[in-house]
Chain A
């Protein structure tokens, strides 16, 4: 560190290509690793799975990636501010259940949807208040929340799924997760819109700067005047609300929901964020990385099946990718910092 070789003259460096310039660029773009991984896996499956390169196959990948990605977007935002949320899978289940029960009871769909999102936001607020007021690590707080809300879900439904098969599907269901071109679903549009919006907030607004600072060094951020607790609280609410949205979107696809919906999703979302270069300790990452992380996970899921591998291999494969991705990201970073 502090090597003279890192520095070129004062002022902006002339735009020329060199290894040094590339390293500088790499250091500022942790999402590159996930992008490269996505390309490699994409090429791999294009060879091993004959039907991989078809519109239907892409649509299948996007459908999986979108629902996971909406959750992972919120998780990434929260992780950058230095906190975890392990309860997103349970929140997804609770939101889907509230949505299903109220729609079945004849509520207007928009109203049901709003209530499901509000309930999710409420759970996020409780998580955030517990973490910021008591100082208990969010890992513990949201582990408790994960078990608590899953338990409530199981108790209320007595373990039975809830189904909703109306004669005509309400337009809101189409908006949430209908097919709009071939097998492509509107959930992909929600996903891309949310990724873009959150990334814009993160990278180009004052609030985004406060989020990075809060996760990067909370004490330093605080003495520099950042309201770190407020940032965390808001991000807990955003993370939970997006999990709730994903729950509603998933219900609109299956038209049925069982109380184990979303089990294990929190870890998959964290995995996607980490593959995308988000630091587990906070302070660094972005949504572009998460986008590729989620696409990678989605591709692995459908690509393995299409390649004829039993679906059981999926988890093992994703596990492998997470560890490799973090090793590569860390090495790259250290190497680039010189």
Chain B
């Protein structure tokens, strides 16, 4: 593993009007690791991720990707770098077919006379293969996403990121609306994506879900980073305690844990 992190966000600050959403937050993700980004509602998790994915510009701070300083000013910029995000409710568009969703914005085309037409065959074949790998069975890749369960949708979205060669995969509450069985499938699939060399940021409220797959944790509270732990140095209960009790426990934690 190279010693340089894949992503490094340095002293990121962001405010919306008078509300300080993030204050001097440092955040990094190493190569091929699952980073759990946790904290209570309003802790700044989403804002931090939206800055990393080009949805918001930061007020101050710097972002390094693979050691190079980068400016990410749109979701497309992030995608071009290899940062793919799977949002809980925005992963796929239910009314569209699986293969149209899978290739949205990156459709393979073939030149026919003056216009470029979608290469439907390639789209369908690719999706068929990916679905088979994930273990989702459908009659045809032309089926609407609406027939897939929540877990299947998350898996398809993760499969899409892997297929398009993502280096960093950001999962926003990927398991929060799923049944227990589906949650396990998605968690397994996250580990599989890691095996393939991806780094993953897992944002969640559910510490038990993230604890089973994460290598490290970053805890945010009121827009500040209050702790960062390697999994070996902290239990799920301790993380919950830090989030529940706020800053005091966190300072203790920081003394114990390796700081970033």
Residues on A lying within 8 angstroms of B by beta carbon are 1-2, 6-13, 20-21, 24, 27-28, 200, 204-206, 208-210, 212-213, 216-217, 219-226, 279, 283-284, 337
Pick 15 A–B contacts, CB within 8 A, sort by A: A1-B146, A2-B147, A2-B152, A7-B139, A11-B132, A12-B128, A13-B139, A27-B143, A206-B105, A209-B107, A212-B100, A216-B96, A222-B75, A225-B79, A225-B105
B70 at the interface (CB under 8 A from A): no
Size range of the interface on B? 35 or more
Residue of B94, B115, B131, B144 touching A10 (CB-CB under 8 A): B131
Alpha-carbon separation in the docked complex, A1 to B115 (Å): 38
Q: Binary interface profile of B, 135-174, with partner A (CB < 8 Å = 1, else 0)?
A: 0011110111011110010000000000000000000000
CA distance A216 to B93 in the complex (A): 6
Task: Please give, as numbers and ranges, the residues of chain A lying within 8 Å of B236 by CB-CB distance.
Answer: none
Given contacts A8-B139, A217-B90, contact A225 B131 (CB under 8 A): no
Enumerate chain A residues within 8 angstroms of B118, measured Cβ to Cβ.
204-206, 208-209
The interface residues of chain A lying within 8 Å CB-to-CB of B140 are 12-13, 24
Closest 9 CB pairs of A and B: A220-B90, A216-B93, A283-B95, A7-B137, A2-B149, A216-B95, A225-B76, A225-B105, A204-B117
Closest A residue to B74 by CB, please name it: A225
Q: Which residues of A contact B177 (CB under 8 A)?
A: none
Contact (A220, B149) CB under 8 Å given A13-B139, A210-B105: no
Residues of A within 8 A of B89 (CB): 220
Asked whether, in the complex, the Cβ of A10 is within 8 Å of the Cβ of B105, the reply is no
Known: A2-B149, A209-B107. A11 touches B96 (CB 8 A): no
Prevailing SS type, chain B contact patch: loop
CB pair A27 B144 closer than 8 Å: yes
Main secondary structure of the interface of A (DSSP, over half): helix
Q: What residues of A have a CB within 8 angstroms of the CB of B137 in the complex?
A: 7-10
The reply on B87 being an interface residue by CB < 8 A is yes
Q: Which residue of A lies closest to B92 (CB)?
A: A220
Known A223-B53, A337-B146; further 14 A-B contacts with Cβ < 8 A: A8-B137, A20-B139, A21-B139, A24-B140, A27-B143, A205-B109, A205-B118, A216-B94, A217-B95, A220-B87, A223-B75, A225-B104, A283-B93, A337-B144
Report yes or no: A219 in contact with B90, Cβ–Cβ below 8 A. yes
- The docked-state distance in angstroms from the alpha carbon of A20 to that of B116 is 34
The answer to whether A10 and B96 touch (CB under 8 A), given A225-B76, A337-B146, is no
